[in-house]
Amino acid sequence: MTFDVQRAGIWKRISAWMFDRILLSILAVGMMWLLSLVTGYDSIGNRYSDGLVSYEKAYNMSFAVTNDEYQQMSDADRQNWDAAYQALISDTEVMAAYSTYFRLTIMNISLSIFIAYLALEFLVPVLAFGHGRTLGKRVFGLAVMRTEGVRISGPVFFVRTILGKYTLETMVPVFIILMIYFNQLGIIGLVVLGAYAVLQIILLFATANHTPVHDLLSDTIVVDYASQKIYNSREEMIADINADAKESAARDPY
């Protein structure tokens, strides 16, 4: 017998992905709110914001200018902006608040998303549903298996979820966005972000199995759960294939 893969339809996969992303976002936002309370994130952010506004008022200017806007300023306005900026970065209290705010932003977002992925994209599929089925995949009748037809193991599924989905597909773009937000990256960040999105789209629609990065890493495929037979081991699959071949030979000796 030839092993037949019942690939999941692309629109079913997209629907399950959207369902899971909604749940993931809700849990991540809830965790961020909780961490913000624990770490005093809002008060630190307000302290930095108040310091920023005080210098803007004192120098009658705004720090929120692009490089092009800065270059188009008159010499006097540019000198005023530079003086305000030097005064700001010389204020140790405000800069300490900025540094703490920056670190807490990255920590809170990273940890919140990690907990959401760990709970909904790893623990629920492994402990509750099996066969890599998240809530979205269960609703839309999908499952995950190795490309050879064997069920996905816990360690492989961990690599798929944490290294593939969380680290590469989520936190890399999130980190780039944060760097752009905090003026650490400019146009280069936007270019990298766009290229990364295009790569994911190409992998999803152009590859034979519609394989995103996390499936490439773990050598897995999303299949239709109702019609796909998933073997517990390679040995079980080989035994089943051999048994089927013997049956076929017995029915048709010629």
Q: Is the pLDDT of residue 115 over 60?
A: yes
More confident residue, 199 or 12: 12
Q: Which residue from 115, 145, 146, 116 is spatially nearest to 131, judged by alpha carbons?
A: 145
Q: Is the pLDDT of residue 1 over 60?
A: no
Write the pLDDT tens digit of every residue in 124-182: 999 998 889 999 999 999 999 998 888 998 899 999 999 999 998 899 888 888 887 77
Residues 151/152/154/158 CA torsion (nearest 10 deg):
-170
Cα 131 to Cα 151: distance, rounded to the nearest angstrom: 6
Q: Is the pLDDT of residue 73 over 80?
A: yes
| DSSP characters over 164-214 | IIIIIIIIHHHHHHHHHHTTS--HHHHHHHHHHHHHHHHHHHHSTT---HH
pTM, two decimal places: 0.82
Q: Is the pLDDT of residue 5 over 50?
A: yes
More confident residue, 113 or 1: 113
Write the pLDDT tens digit of every residue in 94-109: 999 999 999 999 999 9
Cα 62 to Cα 56: distance, rounded to the nearest angstrom: 5
Cα 159 to Cα 162: distance, rounded to the nearest angstrom: 6
Provide mean pLDDT across the span 231-250. Answer: 72
pLDDT score, position 30: 96
Look up residue 29 and give its amino acid.
V
- The residue ranges of every structural domain in the chain are 10-38+110-238
Provide mean pLDDT across the span 57-69. Answer: 85
Share of the chain above pLDDT 70, in %: 91
Q: Is the pLDDT of residue 246 over 60?
A: yes
Cα 183 to Cα 11: distance, rounded to the nearest angstrom: 37
Q: Which residue from 143, 167, 163, 166 is spatially nearest to 155, judged by alpha carbons?
A: 163
pLDDT score, position 210: 66
Provide mean pLDDT across the span 109-130. Answer: 94
Write the pLDDT tens digit of every residue in 190-216: 787 788 888 777 777 776 666 788 888
Contact 228, 5 (CB under 8 A): yes
Cα 252 to Cα 245: distance, rounded to the nearest angstrom: 11
Beta partners for residue 221, in sequence order: 145
More confident residue, 251 or 67: 67
**Token pair in block for residue 168:** 């590469």
Q: Kindly state the helix (H) or strand (E) to which residue 223 belongs, with its residue range.
A: strand 220-224
Cα 210 to Cα 197: distance, rounded to the nearest angstrom: 15
Q: Which residue from 113, 94, 90 is spatially nearest to 102, judged by alpha carbons?
A: 94
pLDDT score, position 104: 94
Q: Is the pLDDT of residue 248 over 70?
A: no
